[in-house]
A and B are shown apart, each in its own frame.
Chain A
Amino acid sequence: MNLLPILFYLLAAVMVAATIFAITEKHPVHAIAYLVTSFFALAAIFYLLAAPLVAMFEVIIYAGAIMVLFMFVIMMLDPGHADEARRPGLLHWLPALFFAGIILAALVMGAALRQAVPVPISTGLGVKEFSLALFRRYGVAIEIISMQLLFAVVGALYLGKKRSPSRSEDS
């Protein structure tokens, strides 16, 4: 009896359930807790799929940095009474339904075509091979993305900068 598929389905179930809870939960901090749980499950799945590096980055960057920043902001700005929030109307559900439909269609397609899922190599992808592939083969893409991030940083700085007193006077 192979343990891996069982683990995979367990983790996948946890992930889907946690994500659904994260979406439906009214309280932002609880939603973050659920989302982090889902990231963990996702990281573990990546690890099972022999991508330890991706798993680690999933935890470090998404669970460890971005969600923490979200939480920081939520704790700094009191979001008010979450219980009194309005339920989203039918119109708000439409985009979500649309994407859910796409995902469902993809699932059905996948099931219908029954392509053999590539079995993960048990050794896993090493850090060295991963980084070589990342910076040799996809080097240009990486550079473009980092440029984009740099633009974002500069833009944020520009938006957050205090106007100099002389300009604020005549404006």
Chain B
Amino acid sequence: MTMVPLHILAALLKVSVILVAILTLAAYMVFAERRLLAWIQDRKGPNRVGPFGLLQPLADLIKLLAKEDFCPPAGDKWLFYLAPAMAAIPAIVTFALVPVGAPVDLFGTVVDLQIVDLNVGLLLFLALSSIAVYGVALGGWASNSKYALLGSIRGLAQLISYELSMGLSLVPVVMLARSVRLSEIVSAQAGVWFIVYQPLAFLIFLLSILAECKRIPFDLPEAEGELVAGFHTEYSGMRFGLFFVGEYINIIVLGGLASTFFLGGWHGPLLPPVVWFTLKTLSFAFLFIWLRGTLPRLRYDQLMHLGWKLLTPLALVNILVTAWWLYLKG
């Protein structure tokens, strides 16, 4: 490998820019969610700190940092302290795979707007999302509390079930793009976005990522109405904050991946690619918040029915139909 210093510099720059951007975005997602939910409920939402309440995330951060960091005496110290990181890190790392814009020309060298372009990109995404389960499971287990344990058991079952339909709904995308490299998937959609060929797969993927980020209507692992706060009941301060922000990072990342897989990534007319990508990702985030403002929580058996009896078989059928169609096309 020929690593020109400029390359290293560019890589470092990309990593830091994306890290800062994604953390800020996640913090403001929390704020946007609170405002939007308030509007949906005919309220105003947080509007006190700074103009229009825009400094609210900062105030929240200070509050969380100032709180006591507490581990239940009967809990498992090590796993309890590690679990929030296990939940947040896979989400952040996944963003390294996402191409956020067209390659740009920087001082004569072409720089991809993507941190790594792995030849197994899509699989790494699946691997990381299956790893994210451990944060939920171990966090709830290590708390040594029945609510947390119930939440994490639900979380385990839900995440495993929906990972399956998520993975299966991506197979047609791979078949269409003939690659699992994310940049190639994007460039395969230069003409027509895959959502046109694969509306069903898109729908399945959308529902699965909703369940993957544990959002209403699939928020059973943290169902406030029944389990206090589910798997992170016992967490306080910044560790809770890490779980919380991790969830929002997950929304952004999965939204970005959904636009990469189905909405053509950064492709789009007129506007610059990065703007297109941001727009698509944020519209997914908006959709998630909107859904949260609308739908009630599913029951556990309904959740399992939807996952195993509807989404997974549909995804399998969809794969077969796509294969048949591609075969006929030659």
Give the docked Cα–Cα distance between A64 and B157 (Å): 12
Which single member of A56, A63, A75 contacts B137 (CB below 8 Å)? A75
Minimum CB–CB distance for B14 against chain A, Å: 21
Interface residue A100 (Cβ < 8 Å from any Cβ of B): no
Give the docked Cα–Cα distance between A64 and B126 (Å): 9
Is A72 touching B157 in the complex (CB atoms < 8 A)? yes
Q: Give the interface SS of chain B, mostly helix, strand, loop or mixed.
A: helix
Give the docked Cα–Cα distance between A126 and B121 (Å): 12
Interface residue B238 (Cβ < 8 Å from any Cβ of A): no
**Which 4 interchain pairs have the tightest Cβ spacing?**
A64-B130, A59-B127, A56-B123, A52-B120
Which A residues have a C-beta under 8 Å from some C-beta of B? 29-30, 33, 36, 43, 52-53, 55-57, 59-60, 63-65, 68-69, 71-72, 75-76, 122, 124, 126-127
Which chain A positions have C-beta within 8 A of B36?
A: none
Which single member of B118, B124, B130, B149 contacts A65 (CB below 8 Å)? B130
Is B127 touching A69 in the complex (CB atoms < 8 A)? no
Contact A68-B127, Cβ < 8 Å, known A75-B149, A126-B119: no
How many A-B residue pairs lie within 8 Å, measured between CB atoms?
71
Which single member of A33, A53, A60, A126 contacts B138 (CB below 8 Å)? A33
Which chain A positions have C-beta within 8 A of B15?
A: none
Contact A63-B130, Cβ < 8 Å, known A29-B79, A75-B141: yes
Closest to B128 in A: A59
Give the docked Cα–Cα distance between A68 and B131 (Å): 9
Which chain B positions have C-beta within 8 A of A64?
A: 126-127, 130-131, 133, 163
Contact A68-B156, Cβ < 8 Å, known A29-B79, A56-B127, A75-B149: yes
Most-contacted residue by chain A among B138, B141, B159 (CB, 10 A): B138
Sampled A-B contacts (6; CB under 8 Å): A56-B124, A60-B123, A64-B131, A65-B130, A126-B119, A127-B180
Which single member of A63, A69, A71, A124 contacts B131 (CB below 8 Å)? A63
Give the docked Cα–Cα distance between A36 and B149 (Å): 20
Interface residue B153 (Cβ < 8 Å from any Cβ of A): yes
Is A72 touching B153 in the complex (CB atoms < 8 A)? yes
Which chain B positions have C-beta within 8 A of A36?
A: 134
Give the docked Cα–Cα distance between A122 and B1 (Å): 9
Which chain A positions have C-beta within 8 A of B79?
A: 29-30, 33
